[in-house]
Chain A
Amino acid sequence: MLESASAFHLILSGDPTLFAIVRLSLAVSLSAVLLAALVGLPLGGLLALTRFPGRDAVVVLINAFMGLPPVVVGLTVFLLLSRSGPLGSFGLLFTPTAMVIAQAVLITPIIAALTRQTVEDLWSEYRDEMNAMGVGPAQRLATLLYDARFSLVTAMLAGFGRAAAEVGAVMIVGGNIEGFTRTMTTAIALETSKGDLPLAMGLGAILLTLILLINSAAWGVRAIGERQAG
């Protein structure tokens, strides 16, 4: 009870440490969603519209990668970015950029897999009309992604939820450095292990609230958009 009160005090008093962590967490996860969307949306769309040998295997692989363990992604990105790794010369390890990359790797399959399914369903509906209009392949992909935009918001939200909630990958590649790479999830893990439950609970409350707010906003945008455009 006392710890809950302290947690609320931290939030209401605008504790700078707390809010720096919140800002970084949001910046990392939203950037990761953006990056993953840039890859995942066209990749999912292309998979939906193209047929090639081994396509089924690629689809199964991407679906399976939706369940990638964050620590495995963290370890892989760590090995790539570490000083002796192939991308070590960029000096990205233990930076927010490394965290964005790790989270983007984690959620790209989620966005790609959900996009593929959405676009494939829409394509089966649109195929005859678009063929009759002589729509070319590139325009076809653009049209389907645009017309599926409200459904694809859900794919992006699924990616954001996964990114914002994961701790393993950002812990490994970010290092949980105070004031630099500490996010809400890594801070919650650390403060809980240290016994600072008020900060951990405050961060937990903020994390849940932010996820709820972002989902509500996305839901609202989707509802308004669907009302206006169908």
Chain B
Amino acid sequence: MRGPVSELPLVFEAVCYAVGGTQILRSLDLTIAPGAPSAIIGPNGSGKTTLLRMAMGLLAPTSGRVTWGGQTDPAPRRRAILFQRPVMLRRTAAGNIAYALRQAGCPSARVAGRVEELLAQAGLSGLASRPARRLSGGEQQRLALARALARDPELLLLDEPTANLDPAATRAVEDIVRIAAQSGVKILMASHDLGQVRRLAGDVRFMSAGAMHESAPAAEFFQSAKSPEAQAFLRGDIVT
């Protein structure tokens, strides 16, 4: 399924995005290269979700440009996204993964085997024939993650992957993400959960009010964030 075209580096060049006169992203520059997971943190409304949607090719910039492996074509080739509230297709858990596999061009003969592998990877083997919409929130999130991995992505975008999940479900999702990252999938995640960012991310980008304020290795960022906005955010001050 992997094509010859690479999704990386993902590059944002002076990207602006506005809706109805409201500036969501402001002249944003960003380069995401292969390596450890990258995290984008920032307060609500800072533009994290918009950035991820643009990185997925679901939104076009108002100005500036986004490229994937040097290409400007936004059609997803080897990238996938996990939305904060993923939508389950009205099919079984296995049916959801099979659908994603077929869309990704997986040969029919291989679909059943890959479905089993991905369900096992997500710890959902026993729930293969359960209607996806009847699964618990944590199970749905793991299924959505397995469905995203069915695309055999080189770049996996995660939008608040564990918001509203309990600690056990959060750990299960993080384990899958960690394994995916170790197998070479580049993770770009938006998260409010600073503990999660510490656990998973190799580098951190801090944004607020649609602008990128800081970019640093995770350990360095948490130890000595440089921008006043990031320092305030880490202190727990209300940053808008």
Contacts and interface: CB of A to CB of B under 8 A. Distances in A.
Interface of A: 125-126, 128-129, 131-135, 139, 143, 147-148, 150, 226-230
13 contacts: A128-B58, A128-B87, A129-B86, A132-B80, A133-B104, A139-B103, A143-B89, A143-B99, A228-B92, A228-B131, A230-B91, A230-B131, A230-B134
Contacts of A134: 75-76, 103
B83 interface: yes
The 5 closest A-B pairs by CB, nearest first: A230-B131, A230-B133, A147-B90, A133-B103, A134-B76
B9 to A, nearest CB: 20
A118 to B, nearest CB: 12
B175 to A, nearest CB: 23
Contacts of B131: 226-230
Contacts of B100: 133
B56 interface: yes
Contact of B76 (A133, A139, A228): A133
Contacts, number: 53
A128 B83 contact: yes
Contacts of A139: 103
A230 B88 contact: yes
A135 to B, nearest CB: 6
Contacts of A147: 89-91
A125 B87 contact: yes
B151 to A, nearest CB: 7
A193 to B, nearest CB: 49
A135 B151 CA distance: 12
B81 interface: yes
Nearest to A230: B131
Nearest to B77: A134
Contacts of B53: 128
A147 B131 CA distance: 12
Nearest to B133: A230
B95 interface: yes
Interface in B67-87: 75-76, 80-81, 83, 86-87
Given A139-B103, A147-B91, A131 B58 contact: yes
B39 interface: no
Interface string B16-58: 0000000000000000000000000000000000000100101
Contacts of A143: 89, 99
Contacts of A131: 58
A139 B105 CA distance: 13
A148 to B, nearest CB: 8
A55 B184 CA distance: 47
Contact of A229 (B58, B76, B80, B91): B91
B87 A126 contact: yes
A128 B83 CA distance: 9
B132 interface: yes
Interface string B124-159: 000000011110000000000000000100000000
B92 A230 contact: yes
B23 to A, nearest CB: 23
A228 B75 CA distance: 34
A150 B91 CA distance: 12
A228 B92 CA distance: 8
B197 to A, nearest CB: 23
Contacts of B86: 129
A129 B83 contact: yes
B81 A230 contact: no
A129 B91 CA distance: 14
Nearest to B76: A134
A230 B139 CA distance: 15
Contacts of B132: 230
B87 A230 contact: no
B92 A229 contact: yes
Nearest to A148: B90
Given A132-B58, A132-B76, A134-B103, A229 B81 contact: no
Contacts of A226: 131
A230 B131 CA distance: 5
A135 B89 contact: no
A148 B89 CA distance: 10
